[in-house]
Amino acid sequence: MAAATILNVGEDLCHRVPVMETAGFDVYHSECSVSGIHVAFAQAKVFSAIAFQSPRYPLLPTVMSTARSLSRAPFVLFDDPSVDSDERAFDLIISSQMPPAVWLKSLQSAIEDARRISLFSRQLCEESAAARAVSRALRAAAEENRRTPIPSCSAWCGEADEGPESPGPGWIPPAPDAKPGI
């Protein structure tokens, strides 16, 4: 599995970035602004998670919406109880009191869950595309059948759908209440 790439948004006053790097994550840094998010995505197109640090001020909704519009990676909040944050916008919230071993495991789990969901989503898209292709083919066949009607007498005269089990033209099926050999 490829190394997870983390976008760290905001100042790292608690020195969490070196801990993530020591754990094997590739960490990119971004200032907490719309332009900073755009610059980070220009450097690396795909992130496994986006970690937000909120050391002094609440995160701006425009920063969050910009990051969300550019990535489906899980949003992680390194929470500071002194700063009011909308926790509903995050997939994982790591409290300031959580030990690194615990939050690293939670971060890795969130990334793995996101990858599993993404893989499942791709599989559903492929299955959906295949089902749409079959449906289009069936609709085209139905349309062709509507354009070329079967003559009304052909079904009764034995001319339609003569397969290998068909006795041939002019064959008349026995009456339903007739006894065999009579």
User: Is 41 a domain residue?
Assistant: yes
Positive or negative CA dihedral for 88, 93, 95, 96? negative
What is the residue-averaged pLDDT of the chain? 84
Residue 150 placed within a domain: no
* Per-residue confidence (pLDDT) for residue 84, from 0 to 100: 76
Report yes or no on 109 lying in a domain.
Answer: yes
pLDDT score of 116: 93
Q: Give percent of the chain with pLDDT exceeding 90.
A: 51
pLDDT tens for 30-67 read 998 999 999 999 988 789 999 998 766 778 889 989 99
In this structure, how many other beta carbons lie within 10 angstroms of the beta carbon of residue 93? 16
Asked if residue 98 belongs to a domain, the reply is: yes
- List all residues 6 or more positions away from 79 whose beta carbon is below 8 Å from its beta carbon: 54, 85, 87, 93, 94, 95, 96
Report yes or no on 173 lying in a domain. no
Confidence (pLDDT) at 156: 61
Residue whose C-alpha is closest to residue 40's, from 31, 53, 49, 51: 31
What's the pTM?
0.67
The answer as to whether 135 is a domain residue is no
CATH number at residue 43: 3.40.50.2300
Q: Would residue 61 count as lying in a domain?
A: yes
Predicted pLDDT at 148: 78
- Structural domains counted in the chain: 1
* 39 in a structural domain: yes
Q: Which domain holds residue 19?
A: 5-122
Residues paired with residue 26 on neighbouring β-strands, in sequence order: 5
